[in-house]
Chains A and B, each alone.
Chain A
Amino acid sequence: AQSVTQPDIHITVSEGASLELRCNYSYGATPYLFWYVQSPGQGLQLLLKYFSGDTLVQGIKGFEAEFKRSQSSFNLRKPSVHWSDAAEYFCAVVGGGGNKLTFGTGTQLKVEL
């Protein structure tokens, strides 16, 4: 069965600093990977997705992620964080039949002004 690990529960960065959120997955075949963001009391917003092809994926709000098969990783990055990026970020993988998303436990991002 597929699984996703987000090793960092909380991360605090200063506004303007760079950001990297880690995600490791376990899946036997080629994974379909996603990053979602959730603001308090809201649903999930899709930031970016990887299915195949170029391993560096661009998303919305200036985010990008790099798929590294050798490391089973799909880390999310942003070169300069804005205060409005404070939220919870979830990495997810699709697999195992149908469209079932398996999520990581999430990383809570705090941005210091």
Chain B
Amino acid sequence: KAGVTQTPRYLIKTRGQQVTLSCSPISGHRSVSWYQQTPGQGLQFLFEYFSETQRNKGNFPGRFSGRQFSNSRSEMNVSTLELGDSALYLCASSSQVNYGYTFGSGTRLTVV
């Protein structure tokens, strides 16, 4: 079956702009999480959604937001981009609590 699909794979944005990243989970998976990966901070949890409800949120400013649709697809939005937002953004889906997450290939965001 198809894996977790993230679009786009690469993105270049200018400081101050906003960006929307998309994630399509594995069919049947209702839990979707987002992570930011940078060389300096490593892998950091952004937020988790389950059945369209945000269940958990990491320690990121309000510029970072997300949502989940009824078909479990998820988007995350970053407004007023800063240079420090340059990172690999990873989406992961799961069918059930503690079954482990399947990750997508990520979206590489570069802010210039």
Contact = CB atoms under 8 A, between A and B. Distances in A.
B94 A99 contact: yes
A26 B14 CA distance: 39
B106 A49 contact: no
Contacts, number: 59
A contact residues, range: 20 to 34
B42 A42 contact: no
B21 to A, nearest CB: 13
Interface stretch (B63-71, B77-85, B96-104): B96-104
Interface string B1-16: 0001010000000000
Contact of B98 (A90, A99, A102, A103): A99
Contacts of A56: none
Interface of B: 4, 6, 31, 33, 35, 42-43, 45, 48, 50, 55-56, 58, 90, 92, 94, 97-98, 100-106, 108
Contact of B43 (A41, A49, A94, A103): A103
Interface of A: 32, 34, 36, 41-46, 49, 51, 90, 94, 97-106
Contacts of B31: 99
A99 B102 CA distance: 12
Contact of B56 (A36, A49, A99): A99
A43 B88 CA distance: 9
Contacts of B42: 103-106
